[in-house]
Structure 1
């Protein structure tokens, strides 16, 4: 065959191959278009039904979204608020007396705390209540000491170390005491810690008699700033960190505390559900966050953190992106949010699909879902089972570590062990994160009835999506823990 004939043959072969490739490409494109159209029809039909009244009128803008969310929330009647109320003075008196008994049990002379969460627990004053502008350099300390009656009953004697010019302002705070407040004032040119020691040795502090001859042993917590601890230590106090029975006082919740924790956490879950029903395509993470915050405020709860993450943004448990990712039909939404009510915290998390993405109603519809969606569903179920198993071990007498280990085994057995990157939970009350902490190394802490915890296992697949379920649980004397966040999630369409 001459060269010209060969050239013509190769041109024919190449053209034939090109035609076949084009035919295959057209075939693939046709299938892709058909699949996309099918999905579009299903979603459009579902969205039309939503607009026609299945979920109420679908919002078309942010203002409608906000109104829809708040209306849904208020339409529940807010029954979760019925059993919660502000704490009476007697509750704070009882706490301080329990603290005094714990100090005796631990061999501690006094407990010192500056404004913050622990101060709020014992005297209802937060850091911002005392210093609106910023934590300042002048120490204002609450000193709680045990005192014994003639009958041997132990109670708390409380004194405040305060700058002289701030004593009258401190009296105006309305702290929950039945007796008149006692102060050790210090002038600006004095050493406040030396002033406290002089008051100690002069027996002008109610609980200090009989303590001469040795350094007073005082306990502080993690909120006490370093310069104050050093000042106390340099002026004769034996300073030790929080622990023992003293730490356990705040860990064990009273009936009133439990009801507030129940109210704020159930309310937070219900706010998320109310908001979800109003979501529409095109919303950003930040827009969802703002609407949810305002929905919580409608019931008198004040949000203090709100993490809204879509798909791959949720592969980092606490986010870190700019909140601009846009909501689409198959988006997996992860919301971790906390609010305050009567000084107590919520901390819940839900992972779900938006309401305009149809839930499969038959095996054939499930089989038609994409591989990515089926993976999301599988991971969602795995995380729920991990939470189930954690609850099996959240019982009085078990170690804090056992709860984490139980959840971690489920996730590891499913092949996602390295994707569960944090502890399974923590204590919750005045603070969203309190001790004890439920991690696999916390073998020494034994759970007690009355402790409240989060259980929040998660799986985080980088560049894909993240799933976390979080509920609040009360350790009981016997049996399973009590859920304090209402009804747990049932599925990605029923969070």
Structure 2
């Protein structure tokens, strides 16, 4: 198992923080990218990186070797396997080198049962422990390079939104609006999409996790858009609600309440603040307006290499304190079946003294 020598790289420094966890197995996904810089994709071919402090041993298919060799500062021992021989030999050699005496730490949210069973078949009696939250805690506080990428992702996403708004007109379907937003993100040089854009019109906007349909936009009804581009592997996550033409009084009232709840939650953010207090700040505004029963989800979630990260989590009962460097969404919403919904989602950074908005698109309901 290779321990790198020479100047410490960013990724070696990150891996060194895992030392207290013993040996940890990482599979393709956010944690592998964060601790190694490798943006490998999960496939039917198993790939596992074993981390022990700064030391790194990677078992991967032979076809991934070019990508591994493109990272000469990785400081890793690499064992590859070909399709005609299968993975067992390489993993058996890796387990021999590791000589595990205790449990193997795993990211239970990402490691597949097939990969775990392979390891346990090759080393009967191998014990594992769930390190998911330990890994997330290390990723929760963003460094300056991460924040730069996240600011750029938010900025290009908002530029794409502005371009889309200039194209909106009654009669466009949700699917057509989503396609135009996808094109606008590409034109803004987004690396990809944080997730498939969610566009909901009229009563469809009352479904927080609905799907894009062929329903056509009409004037005077809600248009909810939840989307994000990416930069440097980091996604944006933004929601805005609009209305083409004059909004009915009920929609305007709903929008004002949700916007006030969003602002109250952002004001509540700061270092040392229990996470549930941010949720309570938003929920209090909505409840006092008489819509408490229609705010049916948490106020926000962590944001980083993954769109949804569970640290921080802005929800009732979460007493963990916010820490400088954490980034989260603040996204209160109210949903009225048969009428529609309003959600306003911003990205917020916890600073040493309070909060900083990473999103700057204004809260505005009415479009010409």
TM more than 0.5: yes
Distance 1:346 1:179, change over 3 A: closer
Instruction: Say yes or no: does 1:278 pair with 2:167.
Output: yes
Q: Secondary structure at the match of 2:88?
A: coil
Q: Secondary structure at the match of 1:178?
A: helix
> Aligned residue for 1:226?
113
Shift in Å at residue 226 of structure 1? Answer: 1.8
Distance 1:230 1:312, change over 3 A: same
Give distance in 2, aligned partners of 1:183 and 1:485. 41
Superposed CA deviations along residues 173-229 of structure 1, whole A, max 9, x for unmatched, are 45544155412346537365543321123xxxxxxxxx7xx3244242411112223
Shift in Å at residue 493 of structure 1? Answer: 2.6
Distance 1:343 1:91, change over 3 A: farther
In structure 2, stretches of 5+ residues that fail to align are 1-5
Matches for 1:103-114 after TM superposition, within 5 Å: 103-104=18-19, 107-114=20-27
> Aligned residue for 1:468?
343
Superposed CA deviations along residues 336-372 of structure 1, whole A, max 9, x for unmatched, are 0122222110110000112xx15xxxxxxxxxx8xxx
- The answer to whether the Cα contact below 8 Å between 2:335 and 2:341 also exists between their aligned partners in 1 is yes
Asked which structure has the greater CA Rg, the reply is 1
Distance 1:246 1:306, change over 3 A: closer
In structure 1, stretches of 5+ residues that fail to align are 1-89, 147-155, 202-210, 359-368
- The answer to whether the Cα contact below 8 Å between 1:408 and 1:420 also exists between their aligned partners in 2 is yes
Shift in Å at residue 258 of structure 1? Answer: 0.6
> Aligned residue for 2:78?
183
> Aligned residue for 1:459?
334
Distance 1:417 1:92, change over 3 A: farther
Instruction: Say yes or no: does 1:124 pair with 2:15.
Output: no
2:55 to 157, 160, 183: 157
Matches for 1:38-49 after TM superposition, within 5 Å: none
Matches for 1:53-64 after TM superposition, within 5 Å: none
Superposed CA deviations along residues 213-270 of structure 1, whole A, max 9, x for unmatched, are x324424241111222344355244311125654322111111111111111122123
Give distance in 1, aligned partners of 2:298 and 2:240. 17
Give distance in 2, aligned partners of 1:255 and 1:111. 26
Distance 1:179 1:333, change over 3 A: closer
Give distance in 1, aligned partners of 2:8 and 2:147. 15
Give distance in 2, aligned partners of 1:426 and 1:237. 34
> Aligned residue for 1:99?
15
- The answer to whether the Cα contact below 8 Å between 1:162 and 1:185 also exists between their aligned partners in 2 is yes
Shift in Å at residue 415 of structure 1? Answer: 1.2
Higher helix share: 1
> Aligned residue for 1:23?
none
Ranges of 4+ aligned residues in structure 1 off by more than 6 Å:
none
Shift in Å at residue 293 of structure 1? Answer: 0.8
Give distance in 2, aligned partners of 1:299 and 1:91. 36
> Aligned residue for 2:3?
none
Q: Which moved more, 1:235-244 or 1:377-386?
A: 235-244
> Aligned residue for 2:283?
408
**Could you tell me the TM-score, scaled by structure 1's length?**
0.66
Instruction: Say yes or no: does 1:379 pair with 2:254.
Output: yes
Instruction: Say yes or no: does 1:198 pair with 2:73.
Output: no
Higher strand share: 2
Q: Secondary structure at the match of 2:365?
A: coil
- The answer to whether the Cα contact below 8 Å between 2:141 and 2:326 also exists between their aligned partners in 1 is yes
- The answer to whether the Cα contact below 8 Å between 2:157 and 2:188 also exists between their aligned partners in 1 is no
Give distance in 1, aligned partners of 2:9 and 2:159. 34
Instruction: Say yes or no: does 1:307 pair with 2:214.
Output: no
> Aligned residue for 1:240?
129
Distance 1:95 1:397, change over 3 A: farther
> Aligned residue for 2:46?
139
Alignment coverage as a number of residue pairs: 356
Matches for 1:201-350 after TM superposition, within 5 Å: 201=99, 214-233=101-120, 235=123, 236-243=125-132, 245-301=134-190, 302-303=192-193, 304-320=195-211, 323-350=213-240
